[in-house]
Amino acid sequence: MALSLSSPEHLVGGSPKRELEIELLLEGIYRRYGYDFRNYARASLQRRIKRALDQEGLGRVSALLDRVLHDPTAMARFVETVAVHTTSMFRDPEVYLTLRNRVVSHLRTYPFLRIWVAGCSSGEELYSIAILLEEEGLYERCRIYATDISDGVLEKARRGIFPLSQMRDYTAAYQLAGGREDFSTYYLTDHAHAILRSHLRRNVVFSQHNLATDQVFNEFHLVLCRNVNIYFDDTLQGRVFDLIHESLARFGVLVLGRRESLRGNPRARAYEELGAGLRVFRKETP
């Protein structure tokens, strides 16, 4: 008698056999496509693999491996499921207020600004920083690089279309972040969606970039990599911090998520935190 997908036999993780299947899945994906999920935090990864199994209607990790190796569209679905895309506009408003009050004056000293939003997901954080820069008169002389591992979410970010139902919360966060305009001037609406105005992405480069495997591609004055490293293990966190450190110009600013820290990283002494607990850091030494 066949077991249902909800049977314990089909739960991800647990037995040595299923752990081996997960290892083979991750290794196969890395060798076939170059996506490296091998150092993602295991508990979170197991939950997302289980979700991928449910979405594909499969019962075993070995069957998922067979499908993604032979079907690139299934692989694209897997990447969207496994990569973490939880975000919102002006999340943690006090962080953006700190950028306005303590970082913008420094950014004004550069004739041209390069900014990296790493793990940009569907674009909420990207558009938040674009709005802030426009209000501070800096957007016209900057280039924002918005990167993510998933082409699917990058396409969502390019479109800049969000549920209209979220705009009330986003407006409140924008105001707490020091916003100076009527937030509704930044988007058009239909019956269900807010469509951000196209001028907010005219200086944005959207590109796929894998923090686990790819290298430095430019020098930046501001890097936002928020709530990404919490899903990586210690080894991959170290790699990402090294990559960002090498990407930041002297006196460049790094913004992490509130649950992330430089504590324990050999690079930590090179940074000064701007505002206790806000995870906004200025690179003081190479």
pLDDT at 27: 94
Band (pLDDT 50/70/90 cuts) for residue 79 is confident
pLDDT 10s digits, 69-78: 999 999 989 9
pLDDT 10s digits, 17-70: 888 999 999 999 989 988 888 888 888 889 989 999 999 999 999 999 999 999
Band (pLDDT 50/70/90 cuts) for residue 93 is very high
* In the predicted structure, residue 5 carries a pLDDT above the cut 80: no
* In the predicted structure, residue 6 carries a pLDDT above the cut 70: no
* In the predicted structure, residue 125 carries a pLDDT above the cut 70: yes
* In the predicted structure, residue 214 carries a pLDDT above the cut 60: yes
pLDDT 10s digits, 165-209: 999 999 999 999 999 999 999 999 998 999 999 999 999 999 999
Determine phi and psi for 37, rounding to 5 degrees: -100, 10
Band (pLDDT 50/70/90 cuts) for residue 1 is very low
- Integer Cα distance of 206 and 73 in angstroms: 21
Q: Average pLDDT, whole number, for the chain? A: 91
pLDDT at 9: 42
Band (pLDDT 50/70/90 cuts) for residue 259 is confident
* In the predicted structure, residue 4 carries a pLDDT above the cut 80: no
User: 90-100: buried (b, 16+ CB within 10 Å) or exposed (e) per residue?
Assistant: bbbbbbbbbbb
Question: pTM of this prediction?
Answer: 0.83
pLDDT at 52: 93
Over residues 253-258, the mean pLDDT reads 95
Band (pLDDT 50/70/90 cuts) for residue 7 is very low
